[in-house]
Every structure is written in C-alpha cells, then in structure tokens.
Structure 1
Amino acid sequence: MTAGPFTPRLAALARRESPPPAPPVERCELCAEPLADVHRHLLDTGSGDPLCACAACAVLFSDNAAGGRHYRLVPDERRELTGFRLDGPLWAALGVPVDLAFFSVTGSGEVTARYPSPAGALHASVHAASWRRLTEANPVLAELRPDVEALVVHRARGAAEHWILPVDDCYRLTALLREHWTGFTGGDAVWAHIGRFFEELQGEK
C-alpha cells in the first residue's frame, strides 16, 4: 500500500505555526515611499491634518511656495520659554477655562485655542486684544510660525510649562488627553501622562 501525499513528516510541518506577518511598512502620505522611523510631517492646511512625509517630500515642501499654501512643513524645533510672563488676569482674558491649552495663529492672524474638556478637545477663538497684550509681554510670540507651531501652556496642578512646539507635538498631547482623560477633571492618570510628556521635552533639549 503506497503512502498518501501527507506523510507524518509533512503533517508535522503542516501543523507548525506560520511565522507572524511582517508589520506594515509606514509610507509617505504624498509619494508612498517607505518612511524612516523618525520622519517629518506636513500640515494639510485645508483639513488641518498632519501628514507623514519622507525626506524628499520634506525638502520639497520646506519652501512654502512648493505647496501652494496647501501643505506646510512642520518644523522640528522645540523652544522652552523661560521667564514667560502670564499672570492670572491675562490668562482669564484669553478665555480658556482650564489650565492646559495650546494656541496657534493662522496665516490671516486669527488665534485659536485648543484645550481639553470632558466632551473632548474644544476650540475657541482668542480675543485679539488679549493676544496682543500677551505678545507685548512676551515678544518671542511674534516669531510663532502660522499654522505649524503653537504656544503650549500648562499651568495645572502647580505646573509652569510654556513652550513653542510643532503642531505634531500638540496632536500627540491631544491624543494623550483623549486616551486617558476621565471624569470632569481628567483623573490622576492623565495628569501623570501629561507630566511625562513635558519631562520628555526637557530630556530632548
């Protein structure tokens, strides 16, 4: 009697677990080239979404004219603002009801604040006169690059963090808030994650 096609050895091989599939390759969202682990981002000014970019596309769009205003290269500099002047009355005048927010300026000069709440991240326009007062007290804010950088202020629980950060860092901070925020005040876990976020910024200086 001849052996069937499945000998004991073949059966054993068939029972072996197949190797796990390779993880998907992250690709440039403009040209589909594979991305390095560390890569730059472009801001789609139409949707407000950040896009992963390969080195070639980052160079191409480093000149604002290349994107026709539609894509802006997000900078990779992070600046801590030591000696930042922002007292309680001026903070209240900015119209942010919590002690953590980031502020960005559009190309037309409009200032928007984003801040966490139990309902998720909220957006609010900042009164022009209040922003002007803040800029007069802190002239470095005149260097804020429209759309792609933000002033990040963390005053909660005794913190005193003031940074100019790329907007992709702000999106990362927003994701932390969305993932870990609980109840009306956020809960201890989210503030621990926020603390580590700023500790990492200090470590990268």
Structure 2
Amino acid sequence: MALSFQELEKPYLELDASFRKLRDFCRDNAIEMERGLGFLEEQTMRLQTQECASLTALQKVQMARHPLRPYPWDLQERIFRNFQELHGDRRFADDAAIFGGIAELDGQPLLVLGTRKGRDLTESMNVNFGSAHPEGYRKAMRLMRLADKLGLPIVNLVDTPGAYPGIAAEERHIGEAIACNLRDMFRLGVPVISIITG
C-alpha cells in the first residue's frame, strides 16, 4: 500500500512546526536563534535527503503530482515580470488550457508559454483540466512565430495530462496541430527552452 501525501509529508510538517515554535519563542524572548535555526536546517536537509533516496517509484510519482505543487501559471507569476498575455489562434478560438505572452526575466524580454490547470473543479473545467484543444497548439505556434520574428527566446512550461482526446478535437485536426508544432519548432531561429514541471 502506497503512503498518502499526509504520511509522506508528516516528518517535514513536524520539523516545520518545531521550526515555527523555536522562531516564535526566540522572537518573544529576544533570544539569539542562529544556533537553533542552523541545527533545524541541518536536520531538515538530512531528513529530505534520506527520505528522497528511499522513496519508491510510486511515491515519487505521488510527490510529483502533489495537489499543492506549483503549476506553470504559478511559476510564470513568480519567475517572470511584466507578463502580458496574448490570446487566440486567429483561426477558431482561444484555448484557456494554454497560456502565452511576452514577459521579462532579468530585463530580457521573452515569450512564456505554459499549460494552465485549475486548483478547484470549476477552474479545472474552465481550462479543460490542462488538456489542450487544437486551438491551444495553434495559439502556441502563432506566439512562437511572433517570438521568432521579434528575436525573443521562448520558455515553455509543460505540465499536461496530454492533448484533449475528444471527437471535437479530432474533427478540428488535433494530430495535425501537434505535428505542425513539432515540425515548426525546429525551424525557429530563437532559443527554445522547454521545462517539464509535472
């Protein structure tokens, strides 16, 4: 039987609680806390190393799919500045499962693309649980061509269960949209970095 998220995280949560208690105690009593913090940080690192080394393949998958892990949209908000989202494939519709836009990283403008997933049922349904329709792939390619014209590097943040497998997606040629993306990405003259986040 695989351990649940709560069982896997229990040692870390206990250490975090100890850390918070120590920090609050030291703050309330005006005590120097560097020594205690150093010890707790050392213990945390040792525990993480030991626990990660002993995880089974299934437990690693469970941790990778943790419900509170950051999704590509969260990473975009934390890493990049001045993000301006661009919409639509200019053929049929805008697929909310794929986001893309111009942003800055350390003052360097670039294109950021990613998969949008929801945190609750309503949000997940609005973005099709992160499964892109053909329009999402076409929007991504349209934006990559724009980045190529502007000489902007491209960062893809990938966390998807896969393309939407429905009949409507097949009717709008999802296989062709994916194949064209793969073909056309090799023709781009700008750097493309794809980061698999989940």
Question: TM-score under structure 1 normalisation?
Answer: 0.25
Indicate the structure with greater helix content. Answer: 2
Structure number with bigger Rg? 1
Task: Identify the structure with the greater strand proportion.
Answer: 1
